[in-house]
């Protein structure tokens, strides 16, 4: 179905951008918006809703004219939850209304408010902003709402989740009652319906079923990994895909910093997006991705909200998303507007059940596999080298002369090998990684597993003691500590030795060669509030610090359940320690 009749400048802008047919949300909104009625629209991110409401309010802003009137007090207001989304909306409306002489002004936190007030005073047609900054301009009388004909709330559910309800109600109360109000939301919880009932008049509700379409353009992959190889697998996935733009999601700022440094050191052009960056740094990072100076972005969920990168074709979840909604939000950065994309989740065996539950809730069926191997990537390198544009260009005369000189001293085979070497030196070397789902004997054929087998413990090497800044006053308990230490430290439970809980801290063993790997992974995945440090000299706590224990240690061991009965008697000493293989309760 083609676009309906539109003002000539907007039709020209769509044609120049290659828009032939409207997306489902655009078609539904344009049909329903005739007559300037209020709309309550349920539509997913990436469905083309910015163009939808941009076109829907064109009649109110332009009428039958060929251009917008001279810029004065704004005619339309778009409220967005984040700076990135507001700036993205501004860019979309700039090209859409550019041929009509439109002036689009952004008012967002992190930018110079004095510059914004000057732009508002000079006149504008559409203002796009975040709730807090828009309210500030209204209170300072920099923003005149009296001429507004349309107000759009973009991603309203997210604005309420972020605590902007009071600001939104203040802004809507300041606008003319005869305005048209378009409310767009990915979901329609009770809070959104209440907002619509209060500030809209007879709104038409549109539920755009875009979930199937959204997943159709995204191929999901679930990659089995060893926790300690996470960064190596990320590197191999980036090398395998060779995407023009890729984004890697981490759950913490510390993990973002660590992964960015690691990939940069390996030769990737990488930028980072996390909450600790200023707006200028964020804008610079996004611009580097748009103009191709950077090809990889490492980001946290909050920092990546509202990002729209046309060339983004690969999303990697280095850390498992917290829930199905976060999975869809992250993955939705790619596969937009009909473009194909791939979303890859890295899943240790210990998190597989949780991942499968998440996939079921998100209604996606990923392809499971092991990580791409170094040999696979080298094979792809050979294929890509032959497809390099340099090989398709006819050689220049100076190239032929140089080739003859080279052939005088080297055989064709030697020159071909040297060419392959030069090509490989431009690329980060792939890593040798393992698939935890392969090479395991059937359950009935495996020998009985004994975590306290003396030979097995001896093979791990000497233990290293660590100090954790949680103790009895923080309700520390082996049943709670074990899952946290293994998950964040990327090690197995059998690699944790004795655990001794004191009033203000906990001391615990990590077996042999797992210690360095544990410390590095914990620093990458942990939070600033929970910290560990190796005890100097790797020495065990002394008798004054607590009773010695471990495999074959002295008597006096008590289970976690027994600890509460001894707490009063041992206020000056540690709680009884955990011994591997004897803790109770589920992790």
pLDDT tens, N- to C-terminus, the chain (587 residues): 567 778 889 988 988 887 777 888 888 888 887 667 899 998 766 668 899 999 999 989 988 788 999 999 999 999 998 887 888 899 999 999 999 999 999 999 878 899 999 999 999 999 999 999 999 999 999 999 999 999 999 988 888 877 889 999 999 999 999 999 999 987 777 888 899 999 998 888 888 764 434 445 789 999 999 998 999 999 999 999 999 899 999 988 889 999 999 999 888 999 998 877 777 888 888 889 988 899 999 998 876 666 778 788 999 999 998 878 788 878 888 876 567 899 999 999 988 988 998 898 888 899 999 999 999 998 888 888 877 777 767 888 888 888 888 888 888 888 788 777 777 677 888 898 988 874 343 444 444 444 445 544 555 557 889 999 888 887 788 777 887 888 788 887 778 888 888 888 999 988 777 888 888 888 876 666 788 888 865 445 543 444 333 333 333 333 333 333 333 333 444 444 444 444 433 33
Structure confidence at residue 438 (pLDDT)? 47
Structure confidence at residue 406 (pLDDT)? 85
Percentage helix, strand, coil for the chain under 3-state DSSP, each rounded to 5: 45, 15, 40
Question: Residues of CATH 3.40.50.300 domain(s) within the chain?
Answer: 8-209, 213-375
133 burial (CB, 10 Å; 0-12 / 13-18 / 19+) is: buried
- CA of residue 278 relative to chain centroid, distance: 18
CA distances from 483 to 321, 487, 496, 506, 583 (A): 18, 6, 11, 15, 12
Q: CB of 13 within 8 A of CB of 98?
A: yes
- Cβ contacts of residue 254 below 8 Å, gap of 6+? 523, 524, 525, 526, 527, 528
Q: CB of 275 within 8 A of CB of 253?
A: yes
CA distances from 16 to 13, 34, 56, 276, 419 (A): 5, 25, 19, 38, 42
User: Residue 246: beta bridge partners?
Assistant: 296, 314
Structure confidence at residue 445 (pLDDT)? 40
Q: CB of 108 within 8 A of CB of 133?
A: yes
Whole-number Å distance between alpha carbons of 510 and 518: 8
Give just the sign of the alpha carbon dihedral 562, 564, 568, 574: positive
Q: Does domain 454-578 have CATH number 3.30.70?
A: yes
Q: CB of 181 within 8 A of CB of 41?
A: no
Which two tokens mark 355? 């991942």
Whole-number Å distance between alpha carbons of 29 and 378: 49
Alpha-helical runs (H) found in 274-333:
279-290, 324-331
Structure confidence at residue 183 (pLDDT)? 93
CA distances from 258 to 255, 263, 394, 520, 521 (A): 5, 9, 44, 10, 10
What are phi and psi for residue 520, nearest 5 degrees?
Answer: -65, -45
Question: Residues of CATH 3.30.70 domain(s) within the chain?
Answer: 454-578
pTM beyond 0.75: no
Structure confidence at residue 443 (pLDDT)? 42
Whole-number Å distance between alpha carbons of 142 and 164: 20
- Cβ contacts of residue 564 below 8 Å, gap of 6+? none
Q: What CATH number labels 8-209? A: 3.40.50.300
Would you identify the CATH topology of the domain 213-375?
Rossmann fold (3.40.50)
Residue 76's nearest CA partner among 17, 133, 154 is: 154
Q: CB of 360 within 8 A of CB of 332?
A: no
For residue 502, the surrounding DSSP H or E stretch is none
Structure confidence at residue 307 (pLDDT)? 73
Whole-number Å distance between alpha carbons of 577 and 499: 5
Whole-number Å distance between alpha carbons of 90 and 86: 6
- CA of residue 86 relative to chain centroid, distance: 18
Structure confidence at residue 2 (pLDDT)? 65
């Amino acid at each position: 179905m083609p676009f309906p009749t539109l003002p000539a400048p907007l039709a020209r802008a769509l044609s120049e951008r290659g828009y032939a047919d409207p997306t489902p949300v655009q078609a539904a909104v344009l049909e329903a918006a005739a007559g300037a009625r209020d709309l309550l629209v349920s539509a997913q991110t990436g469905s083309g809703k910015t163009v939808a409401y941009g076109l829907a309010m064109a009649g109110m802003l332009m009428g039958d004219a060929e251009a917008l009137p001279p810029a004065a007090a704004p005619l339309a207001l778009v409220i967005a939850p984040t700076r990135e989304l507001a700036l993205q909306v501004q860019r979309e409306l700039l090209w859409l209304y550019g041929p009509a002489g439109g002036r689009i002004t952004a008012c967002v936190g992190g930018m110079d408010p004095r510059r914004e007030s000057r732009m508002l005073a000079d006149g504008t047609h559409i203002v796009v902003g975040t709730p807090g900054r828009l309210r500030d301009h209204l209170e300072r009388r920099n923003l005149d709402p009296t001429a507004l004909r349309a107000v759009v709330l973009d991603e309203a559910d997210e604005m309420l989740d972020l605590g902007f309800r009071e600001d939104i109600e203040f802004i809507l109360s300041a606008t003319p009652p005869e305005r048209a109000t378009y409310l767009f939301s990915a979901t329609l919880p009770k809070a959104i319906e209440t907002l619509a009932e209060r500030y809209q008049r007879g709104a038409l509700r549109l539920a755009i079923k875009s979930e199937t379409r959204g997943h159709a353009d995204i191929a999901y992959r679930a990659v089995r990994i060893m926790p300690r190889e996470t960064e190596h697998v990320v590197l191999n996935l980036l090398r395998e895909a060779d995407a023009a733009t890729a984004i890697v999601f981490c759950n913490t700022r510390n993990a973002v910093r660590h992964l960015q440094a690691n990939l940069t050191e390996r030769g990737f052009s990488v930028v980072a997006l996390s909450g600790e960056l200023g707006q200028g740094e964020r804008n610079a990072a996004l611009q580097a991705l748009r103009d191709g100076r950077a090809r990889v972005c490492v980001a946290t969920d909050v920092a990546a909200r509202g990002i729209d990168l046309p060339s983004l074709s690969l999303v990697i979840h280095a850390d498992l998303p917290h829930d199905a909604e976060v999975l869809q939000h992250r993955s939705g950065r790619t596969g937009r507007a009909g473009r194909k994309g791939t979303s890859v989740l890295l899943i240790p065996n210990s998190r597989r059940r949780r991942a499968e539950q998440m996939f079921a809730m998100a209604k996606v069926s990923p392809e499971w596999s092991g990580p791409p191997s170094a040999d696979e990537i080298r094979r792809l390198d050979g294929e890509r080298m032959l497809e390099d544009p340099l090989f398709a260009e006819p050689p220049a005369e100076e190239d032929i002369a140089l080739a003859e000189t080279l052939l005088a001293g080297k055989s064709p085979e030697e020159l071909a090998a040297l060419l392959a070497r030069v090509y490989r030196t431009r690329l980060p070397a792939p890593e040798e990684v393992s698939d935890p789902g392969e090479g395991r004997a059937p359950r009935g054929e495996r020998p009985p597993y004994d975590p306290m087998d003396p030979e097995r413990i001896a093979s791990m090497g000497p233990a290293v003691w660590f100090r954790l800044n949680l103790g009895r006053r923080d309700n520390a308990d082996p049943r709670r500590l074990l899952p946290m230490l293994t998950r964040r430290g990327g090690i197995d439970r059998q690699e944790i030795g004795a655990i001794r809980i004191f009033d203000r801290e906990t001391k615990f063993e990590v077996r042999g060669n797992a210690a360095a790997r544990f410390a590095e992974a914990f620093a990458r995945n942990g939070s600033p509030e929970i910290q560990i440090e190796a005890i100097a000299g790797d020495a065990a706590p002394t008798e004054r610090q607590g009773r010695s224990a471990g495999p074959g240690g002295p008597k006096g061991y008590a289970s976690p359940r027994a600890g509460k009965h001894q707490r009063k008697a041992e206020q000056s000493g540690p709680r009884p320690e955990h011994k591997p293989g004897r803790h109770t309760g589920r992790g």
